[in-house]
Structure 1
């Protein structure tokens, strides 16, 4: 691996900053002539299968991420097209960010004296929390005030320390860079860590091996994923196994569209969208995302709020439960198909970035996050230790007392409450430190 500034030519090794001292973005390159892709098929599937095109590390911190399935879409057949769903919800923590995290954490171990830190609107923070826990390191997640409860629960469950800052994730990136500097914390924020982006590009390698796509449709928030995928295809082209980079299609929510709007030449909006993972008002990687789209000959699509539920339902029909920020790709695909954008023989890959189990949904939220009855129980136990029947009497909602015991069992299995004492047949419960931390996070 070589890291060099394309502007002034300065080379970097060991600790890699996001920018050169001259202010330009650095480039990571490899010995492309020495890459033999025929070796890939003989290795264990996953991100690290492509080691020649990844940074060298002393120790791999892995949960066996990557190698996610590609599923031929029923909707595609109905549209008369060949559409393949790249299901990144199958990664260890439920999102494509695990590809970034395994590489960034593995590379960053020597620099993480006091742990790792990240600015994230959910998925990347949950991923870091898991991988840092695996590595035996502390993790600090700086998240915006607007974050889905499911993601926050996941971050806390893995033991990361949560700091709430700003309304959207882009407001916290500079804050995190300041915290990391000189404090022995290794920053893996995607916009601040070139090394981690190398892991995300493996989506392109897997798509090339399985689909040989002509188009790739990508949900786009910060722009780091579509840029990473572009870099992956560009490296395959440089190695000589790919003749033409697939056309990359950036999909954004209409209410927050700084990247897609510029590609389309329309006025952007910077409003809150229920596809919260795409709520990035001033993405640092905007120019790189636009480069990925324009250099590949692709385009962008804006998706309205009223289309998000349809997208989610149609993916569910395919057997995939995706969050709103991933579901945008379905109405985008339908719009492009209806406009005649695709040819009959095109092979269209659609990247489904994150699981719906992480999201915030008005209906059924309690099944996937800490809300409703469970949240009320946590609040009661914060005040004093209580037993099941006593909790049932204190809850201000009609329900059978047996249901309370089911909630208690689930909260205990999640490590949020524990047995405090027994008095006869009564089991008294209290909050764990994890439960108290989660409750504080949800109430901020």
Structure 2
């Protein structure tokens, strides 16, 4: 079937048999696309409407047009690095690009509302866009989801359904709801129309940078494939000569895509980078096609590197969730291997805000000073009292200052009183303190 004629005289995309949430194949008449008109329009996803499905009504919260920030890391690495900050989208993630297209296109099919299976970001986005459209939304999310995303979902009035441990288990459930309740399914793995919105990241990167490499956090593979599709369309239009190398980054604990690229044994375990915990990505083959087709590669990042990545992005002025923070350790690994050249232009895609997660140790992780960290390390070995901690520190500070640090650490819940011997009060690490110390060492 064919989608009705597009805006501004663009030819309509050609679509394979399509009904609500089935996979589709979309093509445009690229000979008739004039990219020169884009610069006359405001920034955002719908700036590129010649390469988007035609819709009767646009449901938008002014998504897209996110900043491209020159990274200070460039000075240390010797080549140019830029941060594509998708945290600036309306609900704080790249999924808003997907949702404006999926909800706008699906509106005529969504008399009873929308449904989605998601590990958090896409569900929060649907909740916002369906609220804007005045339609009910059903969000099926796994047990392992950051609380900040759940807060967004419920705040926008969506129906929250918890099912299974990972998003893989949610997809079939959402499909059943779509069929049983007559809902329009906007699950990214099931709705390629919505992915047309995500490819606009590639268009924006081309307009501002024309990168040689793009580093992308990868869970289901949908964003990686979307960006690849966007660059392939620019190639077909004739405005670029080659597709930039796409670099997929996954957590070592959950690596079904990256491990196949690297020829290593995949692991399928929960990771603190929860948005990357996709055990059986349905878009794996498309993601692998994107990596191979662009001449790119993949990188694995360990759990002990997540906090470092988050802190280094924070120094750039960008607060990212763990699933986005993997891009910085990946960049450093490739740089150390000599993967990049001096004239390369590398774009790091930060997909989601750190505000969407909830970390009980968040404030301390960014503000705790060196002396307090040393005290925590001392207490990780054995229970100690104030004076012997002061002696063990071997630092030029008064012992009264040590007691001030102890009081502050106790108020943070990182240490606790273990016993009293006479007037001596012994301290030990609390369970929270042990978890926190594990983030640093």
Residue 184 of structure 2 is aligned to residue 186 of structure 1: yes
CA deviation profile, 1:233-285 (whole Å, cap 9, x unmatched): 00000011111000000000000000000010100000110000000000000
Shift of 1:12: 3.8
Shift of 1:76: 2.1
Task: Quote the residue 2:244 is aligned against.
Answer: 246
Q: What aligned pairs does 1:277-426 form with structure 2 within 5 A after superposition?
A: 277-364=275-362
Shift of 1:286: 0.5
Shift of 1:179: 1.1
Which ranges in structure 1 are unaligned for 5 or more consecutive residues?
4-9, 20-25, 367-397, 400-444
CA distance in 1, matches of 2:289, 2:18: 28
Corresponding residue pairs, total: 358
Q: Which residue, 144, 147, 157 being the options, matches 1:146? A: 144
Q: Is the 8 A contact 2:15 2:25 kept in 1?
A: no
CA distance in 1, matches of 2:290, 2:341: 21
Q: Is the 8 A contact 1:77 1:83 kept in 2?
A: no
Residue 22 of structure 2 is aligned to residue 18 of structure 1: yes
Shift of 1:176: 0.7
CA RMSD of aligned residues (A): 2.0
Shift of 1:364: 3.6
Runs of 4 or more consecutive aligned structure 1 residues displaced over 6 Å after TM superposition: none
Shift of 1:113: 1.0
CA distance in 2, matches of 1:11, 1:278: 30
Task: Quote the residue 1:125 is aligned against.
Answer: 123
Shift of 1:362: 2.8
CA distance in 2, matches of 1:246, 1:2: 31
CA distance in 2, matches of 1:11, 1:264: 34
CA distance in 2, matches of 1:115, 1:301: 39
Q: Is the 8 A contact 2:320 2:350 kept in 1?
A: yes
SS of the residue corresponding to residue 258 of structure 1 reads coil
CA distance in 1, matches of 2:327, 2:244: 16
CA distance in 2, matches of 1:152, 1:31: 41
Shift of 1:318: 0.2
CA distance in 2, matches of 1:303, 1:216: 17
Residue 86 of structure 2 is aligned to residue 88 of structure 1: yes
Q: Which residue, 228, 231, 238 being the options, matches 1:230? A: 228
Shift of 1:14: 6.7
Shift of 1:182: 4.7
Task: Quote the residue 1:419 is aligned against.
Answer: none
SS of the residue corresponding to residue 172 of structure 1 reads helix
CA distance in 1, matches of 2:350, 2:279: 22
Task: Quote the residue 1:57 is aligned against.
Answer: 55
SS of the residue corresponding to residue 218 of structure 1 reads strand
**Cα gap change, 1:233/1:306 in structure 2, threshold over 3 Å: closer, same or farther?**
same
Q: Is the 8 A contact 1:138 1:160 kept in 2?
A: yes
Residue 70 of structure 2 is aligned to residue 66 of structure 1: no
**Cα gap change, 1:16/1:33 in structure 2, threshold over 3 Å: closer, same or farther?**
farther
**Cα gap change, 1:11/1:72 in structure 2, threshold over 3 Å: closer, same or farther?**
closer
CA distance in 2, matches of 1:210, 1:245: 15
CA distance in 1, matches of 2:31, 2:175: 36
**Cα gap change, 1:107/1:293 in structure 2, threshold over 3 Å: closer, same or farther?**
same
Q: Is the 8 A contact 1:248 1:292 kept in 2?
A: yes
Return the index of the structure with the highest Cα Rg: 2
CA distance in 1, matches of 2:326, 2:259: 15
Shift of 1:45: 0.7
Q: What aligned pairs does 1:258-269 form with structure 2 within 5 A after superposition?
A: 258-269=256-267
SS of the residue corresponding to residue 300 of structure 1 reads strand
SS of the residue corresponding to residue 257 of structure 2 reads helix
Shift of 1:13: 6.5
Using structure 2 for the length normalisation, give the TM-score: 0.79
Shift of 1:360: 2.7
Q: Is the 8 A contact 1:252 1:260 kept in 2?
A: yes
Q: Is the 8 A contact 1:2 1:28 kept in 2?
A: no
